[in-house]
């Protein structure tokens, strides 16, 4: 079914036919043990459009039990055969991209073209780890002629994946794919705001040939489903993407079972523009860094650190462009989509109102908005807060919305100090024509990933993760496979 047909169906009926409404456990969609359901909302219209299973600890037990039963056979499946299944899953994702993208846009509020990019990213993740599956290998140790020493990489076992609401499908893919490639089984819990594409992905994997029980998806709230999952004694690793407070609780729960964790938490990432930068490229980079997905990105370039010589020019150009960006329902392909919920809209608006009350200059935006065609939805104007003090809350705290906070510096040394001036350390961006300067600054900035002259450069091949309160461990690239394997060393006397 084409994208246009699906969009027409939604705007005509208020929903889409055939959406999943149960957990996906042991190869099948099943109702919640307690028979309860909850609603998922279209942020662009601020209304519910579907209901899904509200799970609890009993459902988690079912899924983990299925994963444990499936673990041994999946781990012993030939690595190339595991890779072949992941590659078939990538092919199905591409074949069903239109439906996945429309559902992702509806569930999250993001612009349809962004959702289409996310679907392509998910397919690419499965292609990448399909190729990696038969390249996970051990090492040999030089113990002398009378001994042989070697290591093998084993799957850690059953893994839990807590998926955030801002990038439901692509974030699920980037952790589920390496786990499966390594021979682990998976139980995933998507955010209650955006449950649908994770369920669709589990079904796609099953249709691609993944054995029953190897990948299950449980839906429900974090307290009733996510909490029991990360605390389950059958889980050997947790990959969590979300807020710092929740990440701390996840780590505390996992510690009781000595379960390993990867935490990808918040960010307050600096985007540095030096006076010698290509200003046209910098303008485009800043706009994409903060207004993509309405700023609801952990790695968003939410702080513009700009050299004073070009501060006025750059902010003026950004303000004109930001004020001209179109807002609207995601399925109408606006430049900026909706925020995820009414509560989140209130949070973003509260930060801006606080800044206004403290006398901070609002160079663009600063107000709530609605879809211009329907007059509904949870929207906030693309906003620029200019010349903000380093200790202000809009500099130090993650807003997670389309709000850019500007910090003015005198040169390279101050730019690095300001870039490092928060408790976060996820990513950073640098715009300069001086490559020596760029790499000096990249060396000295405390972040897990640094972009030079293109924000969000890279792809699934490049490891991703943060320092400080932004978490630890790495996703993407071959580095991600380390989270899902454990090294076994062997030594033998042979003479």
Number of residues in the chain:
495
Cβ neighbours of residue 328 under 8 Å, at least 6 residues apart?
44, 334, 337, 371, 372, 373
Closest CA relative to residue 127, chosen from 87, 88, 93, 92: 87
Three-class DSSP category at 11: helix
Buried b (16+ CB within 10 A) or exposed e, 39-51: ebbbbbbbeebbe
- Positions marked active-site: 166, 264, 298, 475
The conformation of residue 211, written as its DSSP 8-state character, comes to P
DSSP β-ladder status, 424-425 and 467-468 = antiparallel
Q: Which helix (H) or strand (E) holds 185?
A: strand 185-190
DSSP β-ladder status, 185-190 and 215-217 = parallel
CA distance 430 to 453: 6
CA distance 68 to 9: 40
Q: Specify whether the CB–CB gap between 30 and 23 falls below 8 A.
A: yes
- Reading the block at residue 20, the tokens are 């999943």
Q: Specify whether the CB–CB gap between 340 and 165 falls below 8 A.
A: yes
User: What does 386-426 look like in DSSP terms, one character per residue?
Assistant: ES--TTSHHHHS---SSEEEEEEESSHHHHHHHHT-SSEES
Q: Specify whether the CB–CB gap between 385 and 356 falls below 8 A.
A: no
Q: Specify whether the CB–CB gap between 311 and 408 falls below 8 A.
A: yes
CA distance 332 to 14: 15
Cβ neighbours of residue 201 under 8 Å, at least 6 residues apart?
93, 122, 169, 172, 173, 176, 217
**Angle, CA of 43, 392 and 316, to the nearest 5°:** 70
Closest CA relative to residue 427, chosen from 393, 459, 466, 476: 466
CA distance 235 to 183: 14
Alpha carbon 480 to chain centroid distance?
Answer: 14
């Amino acid at each position: 079914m084409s994208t246009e047909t699906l969009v027409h169906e939604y705007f005509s009926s208020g929903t889409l036919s055939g959406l999943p409404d149960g957990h996906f456990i042991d190869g099948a969609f099943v109702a919640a043990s307690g028979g309860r359901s909850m609603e998922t909302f279209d942020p662009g219209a601020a209304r519910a459009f579907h209901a899904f299973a509200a799970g609890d600890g009993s459902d988690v037990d079912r899924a983990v039990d299925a994963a444990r039963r499936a673990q041994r056979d999946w781990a012993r499946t030939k690595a190339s055969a595991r890779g072949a299944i992941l590659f078939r899953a990538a092919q199905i994702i591409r074949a069903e991209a239109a439906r996945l993208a429309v559902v992702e846009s509806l569930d999250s509020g993001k612009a349809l073209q962004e959702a289409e990019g996310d679907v392509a990213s998910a397919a690419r993740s499965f292609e990448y780890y399909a190729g990696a599956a038969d390249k996970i290998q051990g090492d040999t140790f030089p113990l002398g002629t009378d001994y042989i020493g070697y290591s093998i990489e084993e799957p850690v076992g059953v893994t839990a994946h807590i998926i955030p609401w801002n990038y439901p499908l692509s974030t699920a893919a980037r952790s589920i794919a390496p786990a499966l490639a390594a021979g682990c089984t998976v139980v995933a819990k998507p955010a209650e705001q955006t449950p649908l594409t994770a369920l669709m992905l589990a079904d796609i994997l099953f249709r691609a040939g993944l054995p029953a029980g190897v990948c299950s998806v449980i839906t429900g709230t974090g307290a009733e489903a996510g909490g029991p999952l990360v605390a389950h004694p059958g889980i050997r690793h947790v990959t969590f993407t979300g807020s710092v407070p929740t990440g701390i609780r996840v780590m505390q729960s996992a510690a009781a079972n000595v379960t390993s964790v990867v935490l990808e938490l918040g960010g307050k990432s600096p985007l540095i523009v030096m006076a010698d930068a290509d200003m046209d490229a910098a303008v485009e980079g800043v706009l994409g860094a903060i207004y993509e997905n309405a700023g609801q990105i952990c790695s968003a370039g939410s702080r513009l650190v700009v050299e004073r010589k070009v501060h006025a020019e750059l902010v003026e150009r950004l303000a004109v462009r930001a004020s001209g960006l179109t807002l609207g329902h995601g399925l109408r392909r606006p430049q900026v989509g909706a925020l995820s919920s009414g509560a989140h809209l209130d949070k973003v608006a509260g930060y801006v109102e606080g800044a206004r009350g403290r006398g901070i200059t609002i160079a663009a935006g600063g107000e709530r908005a609605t879809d211009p065609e329907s007059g509904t939805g949870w929207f906030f104007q693309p906003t620029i807060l200019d010349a903000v003090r380093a200790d202000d809350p809009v500099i130090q705290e993650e807003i997670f919305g389309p709000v850019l906070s500007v910090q003015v510096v005198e040169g390279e040394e101050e730019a690095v100090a300001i870039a490092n001036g928060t408790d976060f350390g996820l990513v950073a961006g640098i715009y300069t024509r001086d490559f020596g300067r760029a790499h000096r600054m990249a060396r000295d900035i405390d972040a897990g990933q640094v972009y030079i002259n293109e924000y969000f450069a890279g792809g699934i091949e490049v490891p991703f993760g943060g320092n400080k309160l932004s978490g630890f461990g790495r996703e993407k690239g071959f580095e991600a496979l380390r989270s899902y394997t454990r090294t076994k060393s062997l030594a033998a006397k042979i003479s």
